[in-house]
């Protein structure tokens, strides 16, 4: 009886194994096809994503260029208007004493950085360097000079200067 149960178990095992092999053969044949198809789909998706990324980067560059050019144009307009105002001031609106005082203050306090561009200070007369600042308007520029901005301390580091 013992041998009979072993023989039955062995027979059942062989039958089960044989049945599993027959059922798994068609599936095993399909695996390489599925893998190839998935590789092709992944390659197509990667290519599409790369093309979309390139298009997006081009649009970003175009918009950035437009924004920079617009800001420069606006800054140049404001600086030109400021130059015109300064020229009008020289027509006698300011006394010689006031002009001399302004020149002395610039030379003693402001020129140390703004004549050379030290610590990122925009140089006098460099429209591109000032374009990031002047578009806020003259009042904002005066406020920055009084209160300080970035590396520039209040009143350019000369505490004896008044708001005027």
State pLDDT tens for residues 32-66: 777 778 878 878 888 888 998 899 999 988 888 88
Looking at the domain assignment, is residue 55 inside a domain? yes
Asked whether residue 24 carries a pLDDT value surpassing 80, the answer given is: no
Looking at the domain assignment, is residue 26 inside a domain? no
Looking at the domain assignment, is residue 68 inside a domain? yes
CATH number of the domain bearing residue 42: 1.10.760.10
Neighbours of 61 (CB within 10 A): 10
Q: What is the mean pLDDT of the chain?
A: 78
Neighbours of 135 (CB within 10 A): 18
Domain coverage including residue 56: 33-157
Place of tokens 């404001």: 78
Looking at the domain assignment, is residue 48 inside a domain? yes
Cα separation, 29 vs 103, in Å, equals 90
Looking at the domain assignment, is residue 14 inside a domain? no
**pLDDT tens readout for residues 4-22:** 566 566 665 665 665 555 5
How is residue 120 written in tokens? 């990122």
Looking at the domain assignment, is residue 162 inside a domain? no
Looking at the domain assignment, is residue 15 inside a domain? no
| pTM exceeds cut of 0.85 | no
| Domains contained in the chain, number | 1
């Amino acid at each position: 009886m013992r041998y009979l149960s072993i023989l039955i178990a062995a027979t059942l095992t062989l039958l089960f194994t044989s049945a599993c092999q027959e059922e798994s053969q068609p599936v095993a044949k399909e695996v390489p096809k599925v893998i190839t198809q998935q590789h092709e789909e992944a390659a197509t998706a990667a290519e599409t994503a790369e093309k979309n990324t390139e298009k997006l980067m081009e649009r970003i560059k175009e918009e950035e260029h437009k924004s920079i050019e617009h800001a420069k144009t606006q800054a140049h307009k404001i600086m030109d208007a400021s130059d015109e105002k300064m020229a009008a001031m020289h027509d006698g609106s300011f006394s010689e004493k006031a002009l001399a005082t302004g020149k002395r203050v610039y030379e003693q306090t402001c020129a140390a950085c703004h004549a050379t561009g030290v610590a990122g200070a925009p140089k006098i007369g460099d429209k591109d360097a000032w374009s990031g600042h002047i578009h806020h308007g003259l009042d904002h520029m005066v406020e920055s000079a009084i209160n300080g901005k970035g590396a520039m301390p209040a009143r350019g580091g000369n505490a004896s200067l008044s708001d005027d």
